[in-house]
Structures are given as C-alpha cells and as structure tokens.
Amino acid sequence: MAHFGVLGPLAVEGPPGHWVALRGERQRTLLAVLLLNAGRAVPADVLVEALWPDGPPKSATSNLHTYLSRLRERIDGLRVEHGPLGYRLVVEPAELDLLGFRAAVAAGRQAADPVAAAGHYRRALGLWRGPVLAGLHVPRLDADVARLESERLAVFEDCVDAELTAGRHGELTGELQAVITEHPLRERPAAQLMTALHRAGQQGSALEVYRRLRATLIEELGVEPGAEARRVHAAVLRGEDPVPRLPPAVWPVCQLPPDIGDFTGRDTELAELTRVLGAGGGVPVAVLSGEPGAGKSTLAVRAAHRLRRQFPDGQLYVPLAGRDIGEVLADLLRALGVPGPAVPDDVRARAAVFRGRLSDRRVLVVLDDAVDPGHVRTLLPGTPGCAVLVTSRRRLSGLAGAHRLALGPLSGTDAAELLDRLAGARVARERADAERIITACARLPLALRIAGSRLAIRPHLRLGELADRLEDEVRRLDELTVSDLAVRSSIALSYEGLRPPARRAFRLLGRCRLADLPAWAVTTLVDDPDADEAVEELVEASLLEARGPDPTGEGRYRMHDLVRLYAAELAEPSSAEGVRTVLAATLALADAAAARLPRTVPMPSPAHEPPPQPLPAELVERLLARPDDWFAAERANLVLLIGTLGARDALLLLDRFGVYLYLHGQYADMRAAYETVTDADPPLATVAEATLTLLRHARGEYEEAAVRYRACAKELEAHGDRRTHAWVSANLAHCLIGLGRAEEALETAAHARELFTADGSPAELGWVWAAESAALLRLGRIADAREVDRTALAAARAAGDARVIGEALHGFAWSSLLTGDDRGAAAAITESVTLLRGTKARSALAKSLRTLGAIAAATGSREEATAAFEEARSLARELDERPRELSCTRALAAGWIGEGRAAQAIPVLRACLDEFREMGGRPAAGLTLLVLHRAYVAVGEAERAEEAAEQAAELLDPRDASAAALRRALLALTEPT
C-alpha cells in the first residue's frame, strides 16, 4: 500500500522507506490534483486544464489516459476510478497526510478536555513538512493551496487556545513570534502571544506586542485592533489572566440528596436497580417510571446511595423538571471544575466537555424527573464505567437500550409499615381504620406520607375520622395536602405536560368510574379519530396504565384511583354521553353473555326485554365468544356498576352476573353483590333476600336458611309473585331435606309444583321433582320416588338439554340403587357424569360424582368410589359447597378405616360431625356417627364405639331409605381391603 504526502513537497512512499520517483512534470501534476481532491470526482476538463494551463493539445484526452496508465504502473495499488463525473482517487485517511490532518483536527474539536484536544491538534500539525506541494507550481491549484495554508494556521491557533487553557504557555512564545512575523496583520496569534508573555511575567513585552499590532493595522489598513485583542490588552493592563486556566476536577463529586430515614419497602425494585446499574460493561441506563406520587425520586436516591461504593468517582444528581438542557449542562460543568468563561456556548459542545470530564471515570448520574428522551441522551456518559439512573413520569419509550422499571403502589404490608412509621403506635391499635386510610390513598407513598404526616401533626385526630374524610371522593384530594406536599399538584404536573388531545382524553376518561376499561370502552369515551395517539400519550405519561389483553383478547387500561379523581375534577359535561354509551353497552353485553351460559342458580330470571346494544355486532361476537371469559374480565366493573344503578336495574344486572357467579361457585362475591340491594323496596328486596338465603343454604346454614326462605315466601305471596314464590318453595323443600324434616319437605315441594304453571320448564319442574324424590326416599316410599324420577328423566330427555338430563339421571340412578337395580343405577350415574362433564354445571357434576362414589362403594367398586369422592370433594371445595365437601371427606375417611388407618380417620370424622351438627343436618350427623362407630371399634375403643352407635340411632330415621343406602356404601368402605 502506497502512502502519499501533499503537506509539503509531493511525496509517494511505496514500501516503508522506499520513495517513488515520478518522471515528468505532468505525472506529478496529475497526481497532485487527484490527491488534493481525494475521494471526490474530478472532471476530465479540470485535469486537462491543470496539465496544460496554456491550452491543451488535440490529443489531450489520449495523453491523459496515458499519464494515468503510467501512474498506475509506477505506484503499486493506486486506485483511480473513472465515472460519468470524472476521475476519483480512492485513498484511506491513513494513506494521505491531508486526510490524516483533517481527521486529527476533527478529533481535537470533539475532545472534551483541552489537553486531549491539544494533543490531537499537535498530531495534525506534525504532518506538515512545509508549504503545500512545495516545488510544484500548478496554477489550477493555487486557490486550494492558499485555502490549506489558512486551514493550517487556524488549526495552529486552535491548538494554542487549547494549550493556554490547559496552562501551557512557556513553550508557545517562540512559535507565536514566528507566526506574527510571517502574518503581522493576524490578530488572534498576537492576542495569544500577549497571554503567553503575560503569564511568563513579561507584562511589558505583552503590551509591546499590542502596540506593534495596533500600529501595523492602522498603517496598513486604517483600522483599530478587534474586540478580542482589545480584551486581552485590557486584561494585561489590569494584571489579570486573559484566558482562565482549566483546573482539574475534584473527585469524588457527590451531589445526592440525603436518603430518608423512614424509607419503606421496595426491596425487589432496589435489588433490580442495583443489579442493572452495578453490572458493569458499557453504560447501563435504568429508567424508573410510574404514576405521580409513586415515590420514584425517593427510590432513586435510596438506590444511588446503595451504589456509592461501586461508583467511587462520584454521584451526580440532576433535577431536570422545567429546566433548559443548556443550563443543566453548564451547572454540571461548573460542578466538575470547569470555570464559567471556559464553558462553551453551544449545547453540543457543553455535552462533549461533560462526556470528556467523565471519561475513564466511575460515576453514577441520577437524572430526576426527565421529560424528554433527547435530554437524557445529551447527558449520557460516553465511556464504560459510568451508569445512569433516570426517573420520569413518562416511560421515555424513545430511549433505546434502557432497562425500564415501572413503579406501582406499595404492597399492603409495606403501606401499613410506612403509615405506622409516620403516625406511630396507634396505627396498630386502630388497624381497621388504618386499612381504610391505606385503601383511600391507593397505597401510593406520597398520599400515605401526607396522611401519616397529618396524623403525626394532630395526635388526637382519630384514624377513623381521617378515613371518613378520605373515603369521600369529593374531598379526598383536598385532604391529601400537608405543607408543600399535595397529591393534586403532583398529578397536575403530569397533566400540564400533555398535548391538548391527550388532555381532552384524560378529562373524558375521568368521568368513567369503572375499575379498568377495555379498549373498546376507551375508544367510545374518547370518541375521536386520533384516540389511539392520545391514549398512547397518557400511557407514556403514566396517567393511564396499559395492561395486557384480558381473557377475551381485548386490551385493557386502568386509571388509578387518585388520578381518576383528579381527572373527574376536570371532566366536561360533554363526556356524559360517552359514559352512557359505555354503560348501555356493558349492560347489554352482560345480558347476552348470561344468555349463553347455562342457568344453574335455582331462582327465576326477571322478565325483561333484551337491552339494545350500541356496539357493532362483530365486536360483540368477539367479546362474547367465550362468555365465561367476558364475565371474568369485567367482574370488578360489574360490581362497581351495581352500586351506581337504581334498584331494578341493579337487580337485573345482578341476576345476569349471578348466572356466572353461581355457575362457578363464587358465592362470597355473589353474596356481597346482592347485599347492596337489600334495602330496596319490596318485592325487589325480597328477591335479593331470597337469593342471599340460597347462598346460606349452599354453605350448609340450614336452620337460618329455612327461616329466611319462609319469610321470603310469605312476602312473595303477598305481592303475587307466583313464579319466584315457586322457586323459593322448592329451595325450602331441599333445605328441609337437609334438616331431616322429610314430611314437611314433601308438602313444601308439592306446593312449589302447584305454584309452577303447567308449562313450567323441565329445569323448573326438575328441581321440584328432585326435592319430592328425595323427600319420598327419606320417608321410605322408594317406589313413589322412582316414579317421580322416571317422570323427571322422561321430561328432561324430551327437552334435550344435557345439563337437565344429567341432573335427572342423578335422581334416577339413586332411586334405582334403592330398588335393588344396582346395574341400572351404575349405568345411569355414569351417563349423568359423562353428560355433565360436557357442560359448565360444576356443582351438578360434583353432586353426581359424589353419588357415583356412593353407588360404586355399595356395589363393591372401591377404587372407583375413592376416585369419584376425591374429585367431587375437590370440586365442592372450589365451589365453597361445604356440606358436599364434608360428605365426601367422610366417605374418604371411611375408606381409611378399611385400609387400617382408623386412628387417622377419627379426628377427621369428629370435625365433620361438629360441622354437620352446627348446620342442623340430622341425617348427615347420624351417618357420620355410624362411621365413627366403626373407627372406634377398629382402634379398640369399645365405650366410644357404643356411644357413637347410640347417638346415630337417635338421629337416623328408620324410614330413611337414602340414609340406609348411604350407610351401606359407607360401611362397605370401612371393611378391610
């Protein structure tokens, strides 16, 4: 590879130390023109003019090609490309001194440190061996040569400036004297020489330089020296240094605010931040974002203090909110030892100096409350060893390569601990009211700190009183203010940083009180073609939380409580229409979703017209493709809506929601929802009370349920609600069977059947028939019960509903067992379980599985019985159906006796017995005592065994065929395997 030189005589070096001699002036001229334009295409006519300045011969083009060919022959590896624009010499910076010079100059101008800059400039100037192309005169290149000479002189002056800033002046006076002698009208080197002489203690000589400069300028040009020369002259006269020297930075530099003493929680987040920032390698950047009041800055300071040992050169803390980035950089440079006059005017130059000061250092930079990712990029260190921790209300999605950590509310435990630290021991004494305060504060550190501070300031303020104030949504933000801390102002800062469309979307969303919003609801509320862009800005600003898709596949958004309250304060009246549309759509979706699920709750559905649906049919179909998933996704919203509706609408929504809740055994949620409408006027309150009684019944509270059923039936009769009365009577009949009052149950079931009209559905009549059959079996009327079950099964098969058929098969299987038809019983119950597995009726499936276990045990299939009881118990436990769970547990404990584990079975059976007695279930308690009798016999406790047998005899009705069949099954399980 050849190396070329134009900064001095034209030189071509082949192998190191071997100089190529070019023959002829025109070869040298051609190469010189190409080198001074290296990398750029030179038109052929320019080359011809340079070669023949007095006019080209006719054969100029041919001669040009010949000269190029000879150059290629003489210089190994010479690359000259020919294209439409002319000839271009291809050469790398390391192969041509001119390109090397310019690369070194660029590096010097980018260097942050004056010492480093001077080094680059000296390297550039060292490439000059004399005047450009010395000894070769090419008129076509005169302008280029003059320009290069001026460029060299400017670089020399830049180099002197850098060296003066770095405190080097002793060796400069000779060079500057030579330059002034050669260029007496050039003011900048004269000013530099004055500075160097002044620093060397030669004030008189410095003033003489100015005198000569002024005299020459006046004589030659008729002008006075410029502002810079006059400034330096004045400084010398005052005895001041015209160019302040750059002192070295003092390391370490620590600007961190103090770490607060009552910092609480955030252990996981702290561990993540210290791991990411302390990992080493590159310049790690962590962005800590979150809603207003989440404690981002406090956490960042705590993390930075933890990391101090890993960043021994210092920790910079930079508040960015509302500040100009240029001013921020100026403050940082001064903190790092750069004097004011040495701070560059240009922002990019300041950033370069900042990076230079941090080069090869281990410094942690904390950028607090950043808004613009461009500002963060400006403040990033350029060399490995440093790290950056950013806090922002925004996600700063445009910051590539950053590790993001979204900060949410505190955990319940950490929130309680923070309040306890702030308000003292009474928080523990008034725990219930403390939890109310924590909930009202949404577990946000800022809100909790304000509430805790108010309690600390007023030791006699009861927690309950503050909780009452905070639970009033109208005044909550007013209450969350103390001294200079205010939740409202914290949220306002984020809101004010939004663009107008996002502000409007924020105000519109504030009118909706739902816990979280599906994407379709957000679009409906905002009602703007650019809704997506506005919503994305709210998410970026941490004023709206974007969540993953819900079970229906719909994206969801959540506005945290305190943020929503602030948005509601700003809400516009025009947003009410959007809220009404979302409400109407939600109610219509609930109605349609419930219609797609099997109705297993034994209560009638109120007569109503399907509400109109404002959403497109395609969207509705997608949302309700799996109605269970839709109810699961909207569960919290439906609970909130129920509390905002009138009694009739609330009860209608409750009924649709209850279809889902009862189907999945979510009795506690169903009970809490129905309790919100019990203060309505009759008969609405009666319907709610009847449903609540049904839930008590499912939990095994038989005595209380029976009393409440009767009261509801009386009120429903008075209001003429025949259908609901029928269902309540049927439920009462089932409850009475559990209490062992078979005659009363049979009468009540007959009354329920009378109340149902002749066109009662198979599901309605099937529920009554099931009660009648169970009562008849308790009274020993097996044949009558079997006939009822046969009728129910025939009606169910005619209707064709798999769930209704499965439930009817259950009753038929049990009565078949009692008539001695073991094979028929096994076949019927197997079909029942198979059908019910294909439905969503898990409660009915649990019931049939339990009966399958009993029939299998009675017919000698022990393993099948155990498996069925275990599955039934698991389902009953999930559904919170305690009586069924207990009966399965009793059967499994009976099996333990047969396996020789009677001692293990006894405490389990005694626990079952206690609960059955508490429920008032006489038959269930009697059967449990019979199994206990066998367990006591097995362990040799004859006295207890006899006592259990006597108690069982008192509780069990000798007519009870069902109890007899269950006794047969349970005792079979107690037989040794």
| Residue 877 CB burial class (10 angstroms; 0-12, 13-18, ≥19) | middle
Q: Is the pLDDT of residue 316 over 90?
A: yes
Q: pLDDT of 494-522, one tens digit each? A: 888 899 999 988 888 888 877 788 999 89
The pLDDT value recorded for residue 197 is: 86
The pLDDT value recorded for residue 813 is: 94
- Residue 87's H or E segment, with its range, is strand 86-89
CA-based nearest residue to 638, from 691, 587, 581: 587
Dist. CA 642–CA 779, nearest whole Å: 44
Q: How would residue 574 be classed by pLDDT, with cut points 50, 70 and 90?
A: low
Are 329 and 347 a contacting pair, CB within 8 Å?
A: yes
The pLDDT value recorded for residue 58 is: 79
CA-based nearest residue to 489, from 475, 503, 500, 478: 478
Return mean pLDDT, the chain: 87
Locate tokens 């049979």: which residue? 746
The pLDDT of 910-925, averaged and rounded, is 90
The pLDDT of 109-113, averaged and rounded, is 71
- Residue 387's H or E segment, with its range, is strand 387-392
The pLDDT value recorded for residue 239 is: 79
Both structure tokens of 693? 């009684």
CA-based nearest residue to 514, from 464, 467, 466, 550: 550
Q: Is the pLDDT of residue 281 over 80?
A: no
C-alpha dist (Å) from residue 592 to 339, 612, 830:
73, 10, 33
Q: How would residue 575 be classed by pLDDT, with cut points 50, 70 and 90?
A: low
Q: To 5 degrees, how large is the angle CA 941–CA 943–CA 949?
A: 100
Sign of CA dihedral 42, 48, 53, 55: negative
Q: How many CB atoms lie within 10 A of CB 124?
A: 26
The pLDDT value recorded for residue 711 is: 93
Q: To 5 degrees, how large is the angle CA 41–CA 47–CA 49?
A: 140
Cα dihedral 727, 729, 733, 736 in deg (nearest 10):
130
The pLDDT value recorded for residue 902 is: 93
Give the residue ranges of DSSP H helices in 246-346: 267-277, 296-306, 325-335
Q: Which DSSP symbol is given to 571?
A: -
Q: pLDDT of 665-721, one tens digit each? A: 888 888 888 888 877 778 888 988 999 999 988 888 889 999 999 999 999 988 888
Q: pLDDT of 85-95, one tens digit each? A: 888 888 888 88
The pLDDT value recorded for residue 244 is: 62
Kindly report whether the peptide bond that precedes residue 57 is cis, defined as omega within 30 degrees of 0.
Answer: no
Q: Is the pLDDT of residue 246 over 60?
A: no
What contacts 150, CB < 8 A, 6 or more positions away? none
The pLDDT of 790-813, averaged and rounded, is 92
Q: pLDDT of 825-883, one tens digit each? A: 999 999 999 999 999 888 899 999 999 999 999 999 999 999 999 999 999 998 888 89
The pLDDT value recorded for residue 837 is: 94
Least confident of 18-32, 91-105, 529-543: 18-32
